[in-house]
Amino acid sequence: MVAVAAMAVFVVTLLAARGRDVASIEAEVFRTVNTAPVWLYRPVWPLMQFGNVLIACTAAVIVAALLRRWRVAVAGVVACVAAWYLAKVVKNVVERGRPEVYLPDVRLPGVPEDGFGFISGHSTVAFALATVLGAALPRRWRGVPFAIATVVAIARLYVGVHLPLDVVGGAAAGVAIGSVVNAVTVRRDPVDQSVQSVATSPTGQATPVPPNPQ
């Protein structure tokens, strides 16, 4: 259901992005973020690298190693690579330009990027990774990867290489990919067969109960 909802958002943004003009509200949101203080570039840049497919795959492997759940590494790498390739395909289909094609005086504090803008590859990869890790991490940590992915998406506006629809569409596509990969690859870790649960009999004596055979 999450994948279906995310795909619906992706389709809506795709249809909107196929237009040749940038809506005034989209331009306003872009300029608000793009004109943020220059000093933010240095702290934002490292976090933005989590949208790089190689860094994202490495992060997936490191988190899986810490959790000792190697299926998470497989899911993370598959999701990130799939997100990267999907973004490439969508860019060539939609052919939406970068912000400077539509708007004047776009600020580029980092290195300018060429190619098409929709969807944002960094946002797609970051949210695909966040969806995989969010399902694997303990409850109190699940929001962290999504917070980082959100910073990645906003940072792509800040550095002037994407418009809002680019990053929203990328985020939706990433969540859809991560949800599908989770459903296919991630399973519960096997129960240690040497450990048995203990139930209390009606007489008050502890009775060993064999592990669940699932």
Q: What is the pLDDT of residues 120-135, one digit of tens each?
A: 999 999 999 999 999 9
Q: What is the pLDDT of residues 35-61, one digit of tens each?
A: 999 999 999 999 999 999 999 999 999
> pTM for this structure?
0.83
Structure tokens at 1: 């259901």
User: Which residue type does 127 have?
Assistant: F
